[in-house]
Each structure stands twice: as structure tokens, then as C-alpha cells.
Amino acid sequence: MVISSFKTDLEIITQKIFPSKLYLNNYKYIFKQSGVLRWFFNSTLISLISTFGVVIITLFASYSLGRLNFPGNKFLFYFTLAGIMIPLQAIMIPRYLLLRDLNLLNSYWGLIIPYMVNPMFVLIVSQFFKGIPNEFEEAARIDGAGELYILFRIMVPLAKPSLVAISVFSFVSTWNDFLWPLIVMTDQKMYTLPVGLATFYGSYSMKYGVTMAGNVIAALPIFIFFMIFQEQLIQGLTVGGLKE
């Protein structure tokens, strides 16, 4: 894809392995003829804010379900996990109507708020919390530490790999999501990068080099993000074993 983005359309059609020279017009064309910079900004803003929100919400929910003992704990845990079995298509219309009644359609918050809750992330982090030895928590309680102190000063540092893992998953899934932004956003200036590029390709479907250039622009942040956090991502998925 990267190599093809520097080819002419003729070189792509003839399946030439390498371009005869670096053809930069594909990138020049997409930056001049589309709103790719605005779409890129929209995707970045929505992905970063929603990732921050999902980490905060998941942190409190996972600590409550994974470390605190209270009546109904297991019921709430399995009730939360039931959300994993509900596909987006099943709640798409009710969610849309709810956002319409809240006047959040065609706005950043209309995309950010639904992304901030994910039952799968609660499962990952809560199971990680369950794998932390109780001695850390008991020692802190003996010293008079409260719940918030234990959470942020003891549990969060220990659970950092799992939090990084869900951050990467959240950022990548939000960045790549196409269906929900397509439903919520009607103004072209509010499009995210996948939706904007898809509509742009619809008008220029025969420009293969431009299509490859747009795909490189969309994939590059994800590639960089994963390369930076790949070690923490793998650790977060392997260190904390699933426990009943």
C-alpha cells in the first residue's frame, strides 16, 4: 500500500513492483482536493477524548467489580458482561434516537460519549485487578489508606499494562470505526477520516494511487501508536490470567 501510494495509476494497473520514481502527486491531490486535514483532526480529537474517558470509566467500574465485596457484586459483573453479547446493530436505532433527543447529532459528543463505555474493557481490567495479591491492599489498609488512595497509588501502577492495552484497543477501534460516524455525522466538516475518505473515494474511484495515499494517511497513526505501546499491550493481555 505504501509503495503503491508513490506510483502512478498506470504503474499500479500494470502491477509494477516498484515505481520508476517517487510520484508525490497522489498526496498533493488528496490534500488539495479533500478535507483530509479536517477529517484527521476530527478523528484525532474524538479518539483521544473517548480513550481518556473509557479508561476513567473502566478503571472505576473494574475496581468496584474486581476488588470490592458488596451485595450483588457478581450479578453486576455478569450483567456488565452481558453487554458484550449485544451488537451495535441491535441498539443502533435506539442510540440514534436518544442522541437526537439530546441534540447531540452531528457533534463531537455524539461520537465520544457512546465510545466511552465498553464491557469488554471492564472484563479485561477487572480480571487483572483480581490477579493482584491481596497483601498489597491489606498493607495499605493497615496504614489507614482509603479506597481512592489504594486505587490510584497501588492498583493503577500495578494494572498499568491492562490500562495501556485497553487504551490501544479503544484508540484503534474508535479511529477505524466507520458505521457509527456515518450515521451520526451529516456535515462533511464533521466527518471522521474513514468516512471522509470513503466519500472522497466514491467520487474518484478510478484514482488508485490517490486511494492508496489516503489509506496510508489513515493507517499511519495506528501503526505508530501500536509500535509505541506494543510491549505494554502484549503484557496487559498475558500477565493477568482470567479468574472466576
Q: For 103-121, give the DSSP string.
A: T-TTSHHHHHHHHT--HHH
pLDDT value of position 100: 92
Question: What is the pLDDT at residue 40?
Answer: 92
Find the helix or strand (DSSP H, E) in which 124 lies: helix 119-130
Which residues fall within 8 angstroms of residue 165, CB to CB, at 6 or more apart?
A: 124, 232, 233, 235, 236, 237
Q: Which three cell numbers stand for residue 17?
A: 513492483
pLDDT at position 244: 39
**Residue 63 cell numbers, joined:** 475496581
Tell me what pLDDT residue 77 has: 85
What the block records as the C-alpha cell of 98 is 436518544
Q: Is the CB of residue 191 less than 8 Å from the CB of residue 42?
A: yes
State the Cα–Cα distance between residues 20 and 170, nearest whole angstrom. 40
Digitized pLDDT (tens) for each residue of the chain, 244 residues in all: 899 889 888 888 888 888 888 888 889 988 888 888 999 999 999 999 999 999 999 999 998 888 888 888 888 888 888 888 888 888 889 999 999 999 999 999 999 999 998 898 988 888 888 888 888 888 888 888 788 888 888 888 888 888 888 888 899 899 999 999 999 988 888 999 999 988 887 765 578 888 889 899 999 888 888 888 777 667 656 654 444 3
pLDDT at residue number 235 = 65
User: Domains in the chain, ordered, with CATH?
Assistant: 27-238 (1.10.3720.10)
Phi, psi angles (nearest 5°) of residue 156: -60, -45
